[in-house]
Amino acid sequence: MRKLNLKPLAEQVLVITGGSSGIGAATGRAAARAGARVVLAGRDAAELDKVAESIRTEGGQVTTVTMDVGIEEDHHRLLQAALEAYGSVDTWVNNAGVSIFGPLQSVPIEDQRKLFETDYWGVVYGSLTAVPYLRERGGALINVGSEVSDRAIPMQGAYSAAKHAVKGFTDALRMELMHENLPVSVTLIKPGSIDTDYTRRARNYMDVEPVLPPPIYSPEAVAQAILYAAHKPQRDLYVGSAAKIMASLGHRAPGLMDALGGWLTRHQRSNVPASEGGDGLYEPGVRTATPSPSKVRRHSYYTEVNTRGKGMFWLGTGAVLLVGTALARRRH
């Protein structure tokens, strides 16, 4: 394989889709603080400008591109804008996404198709735009999946299906690039529940406002994982121990995970009646009635350990203990 040398963050140019809020905005800010030059992309020009201004206020370098990841041509325009602004691209992060809450039988097919345009095809378009450029000079392609890339959950069936598809695409692309001996690192990031506008931007077919099941982590925890993969080649990274445990149980105890479907359903339902406000499925928008989480973990110790080079022993030990505890409780 041609030698893969990822640059230090301070020498990189990063392209980040979904950059107007949440994980994308947090990643852009953290990258700029590390000295990287950042290109933020998203549909909402006003929100992108706010994030960019906050970066510039701290002395960072950033440019913005208003685009829709569900439109293939917009990705080519994004790459061209990055090259015009900074002359190169070192890391491309496909982060944009949207969800739908509600039983699959209640979600119109056209809405499910639209979700796939953003969550799956947005990743495909971005990857197939970035790779022809990166293959000539090397770099990192980072796709943001989810804990539901490994294990589907009820009430977000279409989102789970799209993130499963993202995992399949990312794994296949990685193998193909390895076979070609190309110096491109391909990483899948799999966050658990994250404190962003995710629920407020999701389309909702429940009778109450949606919430995310605990534990809930800050978007900065995901940014830490993304930026680690930008300069240290990784196959995949979970954000939050709960995400890793959920995936492990899904593989090793699928029946137990099926039995947890009721708990997962209940913990995605708030006690706030569903609002009539807009959402971000087709156009930028949020609902105002969705409650914020009462407790957010600012850091994921699991992620911190795994991004400091000594995670597997402690991670394996912790996972075994936690899975054993869960199975023991099930027996009783």
Which residues are known to be catalytic? Answer: 159
Strand partners, 144: 189
Q: For residue 215, is the peptide bond before it cis, meaning its omega torsion is within 30 degrees of 0?
A: yes
Q: Report how far residue 14's alpha carbon sits from residue 88's, in angstroms, rounded to the nearest whole number.
A: 9
CA 114 to chain centre: 18
Instruction: Quote the tokens at residue 262.
Output: 């009721």
DSSP 8-state secondary structure symbol assigned to residue 185: E
Q: Give the 3-state secondary structure of residue 98.
A: coil
Neighbouring C-beta atoms of residue 259, cutoff 10 Å:
11
Give the residue among 139, 140, 41 at the shortest CA–CA distance from 95.
41
Spatial distance between the Cα atoms of 144 and 19, rounded to a whole number of angstroms? 13
DSSP state of 102: B
Contact yes or no for 104/158 (Cβ under 8 A): yes
Straight-line distance from the first to the last Cα atom of the chain, in angstroms, rounded to the nearest whole number = 52
Identity (one letter) of the amino acid at 41? A
Task: Kindly tell me the burial class for residue 58, based on how many C-beta atoms sit within 10 Å of its own C-beta (0-12, 13-18, 19 or more).
Answer: exposed
